[in-house]
C-alpha cells in the first residue's frame, strides 16, 4: 500500500547487498512511496551483481563508493544530485563490517588494525557522509539521515565483538553531528536500533541463529523483520517525523525494555 509519503523526495540508499539486506527492503518501500534515489555500495559488493536487479526494479542508478573514502563519497553526493535533479532529502546509512568478527577473533584479543577498520567502516563512515553532505550543502532543509544500529551499543553481547564499540560510536555521531547539522541546515539525524535480522552481516555473527531465537522469545511482539524496519525508516524519511532528531530509536518488538519473558523463565523453572 502506498500513501506517497516520499513523493518528490530524492535519496541516497547505501548497503543493499542482496534481497535479504535491510537496505534492499528500504529501497523497495521508498520506491513504492514515490521517492527517487541512487543506490550505493562498496565497489567490491558490486561484483556480486545482485544490486543491479534492485536498480532495475526501482529505476535507480548505482553509484559505487567505499564509505570510508571521502573522495568517493564526494562523488556520490555530487553525482546523485546530478542524476536526481536536485538536492537530497534523505540518506540511509546501512553499513557494517568487522574483520575481527569475520575472522572469529575473540573481543579481548582483537587485532587493532582490524579494530580500526571496523570503526572506520561501521561508524566513522557516517561522520564522513555527513561531513561531505554538509560541506557540499547537498541536502534540502528538513532532510533526514537514518543509520542502522544495534542494542550492543548500550549493553554487552559477548559475541558482538568490536562491532559493539563501533555501534556506540555510530550512535554518538548521530547525536553530535545531529546537533551541528540541525543548527546549520535543519537536517535530522537518527539511528534505528533493529532486532537481529537474518542478513549477510547478521548471520556473520557467531551463534546468530540461537541468539535470534532468544530475542524472539524475549520480545513481546517477536523480532522485528527487515520489512518492518523498512516501514519504520520510511516514516523517518517522511515529513511526518520532522521534529525527531539526534535519537537512537529502538525497533525491536519491545526487546530493549523487557527484563525477562515467561518463555525464557520457563527454561529455569524448578520442576
Ligand atoms: P548486509 O550485509 O546486507 O549489509 C551491510 C552492507 O554494508 C553491505 O551491503 C556491505 O556491502 C556494506 N559495506 C561494507 N563495507 C562497506 C564499505 N566500506 N563501504 C560501503 N558499504 C560497505 O546486512 P544488514 O543486516 O542489512 O546490515 C545493514 C545495517 O544494519 C548494518 O549497519 C548492520 O550492523 C545493521 N544491523 C543489522 C542487524 C542484523 O541482525 N542483521 C541488527 C541491527 C542492525
Residue 206 pLDDT: 77
Report CA(3)–ligand 1 centroid distance (Å): 28
Report CA(262)–ligand 1 centroid distance (Å): 32
| Cell of residue 11, nine digits | 535519496
DSSP state of 181: H
Note the CATH number of domain 10-266: 3.40.50.720
Report CA(220)–ligand 1 centroid distance (Å): 26
Residue 47 pLDDT: 76
For the Cβ of 42 lying below 6 angstroms from any atom of ligand 1, the answer is: yes
Pocket test for ligand 1, best of 96, 193, 229 (most atoms within 8 A of CB): 96
Cα 160 to Cα 108, 156, 163, 246, 248, distances in angstroms: 12, 8, 6, 24, 19
Q: What is the C-alpha to C-alpha distance for residues 9 and 3, in angstroms, rounded to an integer?
A: 13
Residue spans of beta strands (DSSP E) within the chain: 10-14, 36-40, 61-62, 88-93, 139-149, 188-194, 248-251
Q: What is the C-alpha to C-alpha distance for residues 121 and 123, in angstroms, rounded to an integer?
A: 6
Strand partners, 37: 11
Residue 48 pLDDT: 74
Residue 12 pLDDT: 99
CB atoms within 10 A of CB 4: 12
Report CA(94)–ligand 1 centroid distance (Å): 5
Show me where the domains of the chain are located. 10-266
178 in Cβ contact with 146 (< 8 Å)? no
Q: What angle do CA 128, 32, 19 make, to 5 degrees?
A: 65
Global pTM?
0.98
Residue 201 pLDDT: 81
- Coil, strand or helix at 109: helix
Q: What is the C-alpha to C-alpha distance for residues 260 and 219, in angstroms, rounded to an integer?
A: 9
Residues 6+ apart with CB under 8 A from 138: 77, 78, 80, 81, 87, 88, 132
For the Cβ of 5 lying below 6 angstroms from any atom of ligand 1, the answer is: no
**Which ligand 1 atom sits closest to the C-alpha of 68?**
18
Q: What is the mean pLDDT of each run of 10 residues along the chain (271 residues)?
A: 93 96 98 98 85 96 98 98 98 98 96 98 99 98 98 94 98 98 98 95 83 96 98 98 98 97 91 70
Report CA(97)–ligand 1 centroid distance (Å): 7
For the Cβ of 68 lying below 6 angstroms from any atom of ligand 1, the answer is: yes
For the Cβ of 145 lying below 6 angstroms from any atom of ligand 1, the answer is: no
Amino acid at each position: 500500500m502506498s500513501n506517497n509519503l516520499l513523493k518528490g523526495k530524492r535519496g541516497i540508499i547505501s548497503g543493499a547487498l542482496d534481497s535479504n539486506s535491510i537496505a534492499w527492503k528500504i529501497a523497495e518501500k521508498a520506491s513504492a512511496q514515490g521517492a527517487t534515489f541512487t543506490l550505493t555500495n562498496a565497489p567490491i559488493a558490486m561484483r556480486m551483481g545482485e544490486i543491479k536487479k534492485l536498480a532495475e526494479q526501482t529505476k535507480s542508478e548505482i553509484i559505487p563508493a567505499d564509505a570510508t573514502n571521502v573522495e568517493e563519497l564526494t562523488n556520490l553526493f555530487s553525482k546523485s544530485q546530478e542524476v536526481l535533479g536536485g538536492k537530497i532529502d534523505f540518506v540511509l546509512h546501512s553499513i557494517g563490517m568487522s574483520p575481527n568478527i569475520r575472522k572469529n577473533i575473540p573481543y579481548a584479543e582483537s587485532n587493532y588494525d582490524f579494530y580500526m577498520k571496523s570503526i572506520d567502516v561501521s561508524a566513522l563512515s557516517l561522520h564522513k557522509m555527513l561531513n561531505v553532505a554538509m560541506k557540499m550543502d547537498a541536502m534540502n532543509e528538513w532532510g533526514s539521515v537514518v543509520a542502522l544500529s544495534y542494542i550492543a551499543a548500550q549493553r554487552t553481547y559477548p559475541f558482538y565483538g568490536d562491532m559493539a564499540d563501533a555501534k556506540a560510536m555510530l550512535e554518538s555521531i548521530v547525536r553530535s553531528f545531529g546537533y551541528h547539522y540541525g543548527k546549520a541546515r535543519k537536517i535530522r539525524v537518527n539511528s534505528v536500533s533493529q532486532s537481529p535480522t537474518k542478513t549477510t552481516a547478521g548471520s556473520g555473527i557467531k551463534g546468530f541463529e540461537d541468539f535470534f531465537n532468544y530475542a524472539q522469545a524475549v520480545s513481546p511482539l517477536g523480532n522485528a523483520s527487515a520489512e518492518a524496519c523498512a516501514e519504520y525508516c520510511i516514516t523517518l524519511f517522511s515529513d511526518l517525523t520532522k521534529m525527531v532528531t539526534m535519537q537512537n530509536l529502538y525497533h525491536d518488538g519491545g526487546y530493549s525494555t523487557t527484563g525477562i519473558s515467561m518463555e525464557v523463565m520457563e527454561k529455569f523453572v524448578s520442576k
